[in-house]
Structures are given as C-alpha cells and as structure tokens.
Amino acid sequence: MIDVRPASQAMVAIVSRNEEAKDVVTLRFDWDVPATPGQFVMVWVPGVDEVPMSLSYLGARKGITVKGVGEATNALTAMQAGGMIGVRGPYGRGYRILEGKVLAVGGGTGMASLLPAVEAVPSAEVHTAIGARTEAELLFEERAKNASATVRVSTDDGSRGLHGNAVQLAKAMMAETRYDVVLGCGPERMLYHLHRLCLEQGIPCQMSLERYMRCGAGLCGSCALDGSRVCREGPVFTGEELKGMREFGKQRRDECGRRVRL
C-alpha cells in the first residue's frame, strides 16, 4: 500500500556526524515526523543541489548515511555538526514487516535503507548478510549484530568473511536456514540476481530500488520504471511486482531521461 500522508519540509541542523566506513558518513538531525523503514527524503544542500536519501535512522532524531560520489553527496559528507540542510518527505513505499524468519541482504550503502527494517523485526527472527567490495567498506556490521540473531559478511576481494558477493553469501545462508521472506537493498545488478535466487528458492522478497529523482513526489516521472514511479510505487517492490518489469536489472534513465544500461 502506498503511503499517502502529506510530506513535511524543514531546514534542520546537523546534530552529529559519524564516519561509518570508507567515504561513508552518517548525519543525524532532529525532525519528528512519522516515517517507516525503507522510506526516503529529498535532501537539499544549500547552494549545491537536492538529492534523494534513504532514512538510515527513524524516530525523532533521524539520520541519512551518505557515500560521496558526486557534487551533492560530497558536500554532504563534508558537512559538520551545526551545518544546515533542507529535508522534505518522507516519500515512497517502504518494507512491509512480515511475521516469520527474515533474511536481510545489503550490498554497499544498501545497508542504510535495510537497518531500520531489521530493527523492526524481533532479533531472534532475522539474519543479516552484508556485502562490500573490501573490509574497509563494510557498513553497519555492529549495528546489525545488535538487531539480528546472525550476521555474516562477504567481500569481493576476500579481505573479510566470504570471498564473494552478497548474493553468493545469501545463497549459502539459504542452504542452511529456511527463510519466509528476503529483504534486499544494494546495487541493482545485485538485486536482480538476488531476486532470481529468491524465485528459484520459492521465497517471497522485497527489494529497494534506486532511480534518478527530481521531485520525489511522483509528479515529474524521471524515476519511471516500466510504468511505475520508483519514488511513489516504490522504492520497495515485491518480488511478484519485479517479475513483470523488463527494465529491472537492465537499464535506467539518466538526468536527461535517456535510457542507459546498468
């Protein structure tokens, strides 16, 4: 079900800044508006740009976790406590928290979107798989351990945990435990293969996708995906919804609306 509550907007002060992993920073700010795991906000960096960011912390003191990859995100990672940003939202459809055994699979900064969902599940019922390119880029491992019965990691270079990717790790964990639902967030090619794995295993899944967004409110259409708006009908889609999407895992639109291969 799509969240239809009106969005809020405010200028907020950065209360704290924490370096989480290589080139990844969490910024916390006081903004007491309702939000659910998996929703996102549009973040305005004065004088720079506005970008969509998943909420990595909920509650009255919210948070965003940012990897510096462009002008706006580099400006965000450089901000210190006391700096001001604009936030509006929250937007989109988040994860539906279901009963049963949960496997949460996060690749790279995808853990930022997943952790609030993991923390909404009784810890005894959730296992977490964290993937990264290197040990230095593993994100939120300790926080996941506080909210999960089991946490396992993988690295592409073999510097920590399973020498492989998050999908290979998820497959190994599925061989040991029967899960009732899989939650995933990370690079879309990773999610594409995780979705295929879930179909093979017959496990329902929910995946959080990322697309270029201008408005965040479903008006501009820049985040269109096979007729759905990622900012409105997503960013979290069910496995059944993804089965019918031809563009999923294959292409996206750039800032000019052109289709580009993933």
The CATH-assigned architecture of domain 8-91 is Beta Barrel (2.40)
Parallel/antiparallel/unpaired status of strands 224-225 and 228-229: antiparallel
What residues in the chain have per-residue pLDDT under 50? 1-4
Strand-pairing partners, residue 155, are 132, 163
- Classify domain 102-261 at the CATH class level: alpha beta
Which residues have CB under 8 Å from 206's CB, separation 6+? Answer: 95, 96, 181, 182, 183, 184, 236, 237, 238, 239
What confidence tens digit (pLDDT) does each residue in 104-121 have? 999 999 999 999 999 999
What pLDDT, on the 0 to 100 scale, is given for residue 157? 96
**Residue closest to 236 by CA, chosen among 64, 89, 93, 106:** 93
pTM of the model: 0.91
What pLDDT, on the 0 to 100 scale, is given for residue 55? 97
* Start-to-end C-alpha separation, the chain: 28
Neighbour tally for 239: CB within 10 Å: 19
What pLDDT, on the 0 to 100 scale, is given for residue 221? 77
What pLDDT, on the 0 to 100 scale, is given for residue 257? 62
Q: What sign has the CA pseudo-torsion 13, 19, 20, 25?
A: positive
What pLDDT, on the 0 to 100 scale, is given for residue 6? 64
* CATH 2.40.30.10 intervals, the chain: 8-91
* CATH 3.40.50.80 intervals, the chain: 102-261
